[in-house]
């Protein structure tokens, strides 16, 4: 009888430990940071297909996205509350939707900015941007320009302008779509560096 009780206590201890670890991982992944794999060429030469990024999910709870930030956002969903964060986490775990729902782009325009595309270049509030990180020319796609960035919205572009599908096609994104800021490239190991 004492032996059964001892085994039961040991089993329950393991169950509590595993459950606690799963809860901790869930909280960290939904609220603090996540690992995301780049599944596209739209950010070349800054980021390449297959690279792994550490995404900071906390910063934008306290600050606003800034021009030049490389952000990961949900293509067709928004992060309205903790329940939606948990639902997105469950979708990632159970359905492996990560590569289909997230995009990696650079913030070009924030609320109040006017964006224009002329002669293959981006103009921000009337000034031509000096974009040393881009590849290809910036041509108009489906959206009319000049474009004013409204409150709660952002204008985002991929660095590889010739292949990127971005705000030129789908328009402004809602800040609630942003999952986090790309902070660190962690894979491959010889490319570990901060994301700029």
Q: Choose, from 42, 153, 164, 175, the residue flagged as catalytic.
A: 42
| Cα–Cα distance for residue pair 151/114, rounded to 1 Å | 12
Q: What are phi and psi of 79, to 5 degrees?
A: -95, 85
Closest among 111, 114, 116, 173 to 140, alpha carbons compared: 116
Domain ranges of the chain: 2-187
| Cα–Cα distance for residue pair 23/15, rounded to 1 Å | 12
105 assigned to active site: yes
In angstroms and rounded to an integer, the radius of gyration of the C-alpha atoms of the chain is 21
Residue-wise pLDDT tens digits, 64-92: 999 999 998 877 655 554 555 555 555 55
What CATH class does 2-187 carry? mainly beta
Q: Above 60 in pLDDT, residue 49?
A: yes
Residue-wise pLDDT tens digits, 117-153: 988 889 999 999 888 888 777 877 778 889 999 999 9
Q: Choose, from 57, 105, 153, 181, the residue flagged as catalytic.
A: 105
Closest among 148, 163, 166, 61 to 106, alpha carbons compared: 166
31 assigned to active site: no
Model confidence at 35, in pLDDT bands (50, 70, 90)? Answer: confident
């Amino acid at each position: 009888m004492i032996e059964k009780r001892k085994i039961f206590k040991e089993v329950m201890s393991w169950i509590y430990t595993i459950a606690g670890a799963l809860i901790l991982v869930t909280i960290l992944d939904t609220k603090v940071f996540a690992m995301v794999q780049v599944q596209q060429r739209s950010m070349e030469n800054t980021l390449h297909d297959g690279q792994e990024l550490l995404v900071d999910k906390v910063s934008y709870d306290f600050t606003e996205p800034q021009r030049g930030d490389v952000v990961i956002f949900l293509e067709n969903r928004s992060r309205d509350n903790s329940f939606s964060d948990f639902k997105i986490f469950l979708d990632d775990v159970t359905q492996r939707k990560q590569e289909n729902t997230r995009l990696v782009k650079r913030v070009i325009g924030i609320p109040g900015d006017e964006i224009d595309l002329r002669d293959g270049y981006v103009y921000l509030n009337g000034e031509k941007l000096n974009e040393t990180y881009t590849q290809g020319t910036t041509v108009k796609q489906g959206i009319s320009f000049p474009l004013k960035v409204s409150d709660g919205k952002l204008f985002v572009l991929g660095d590889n302008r010739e292949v990127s599908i971005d705000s030129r096609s789908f328009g402004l994104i809602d800040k609630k779509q942003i999952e986090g800021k790309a902070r660190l490239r962690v894979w491959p190991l010889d490319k570990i560096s901060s994301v700029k």
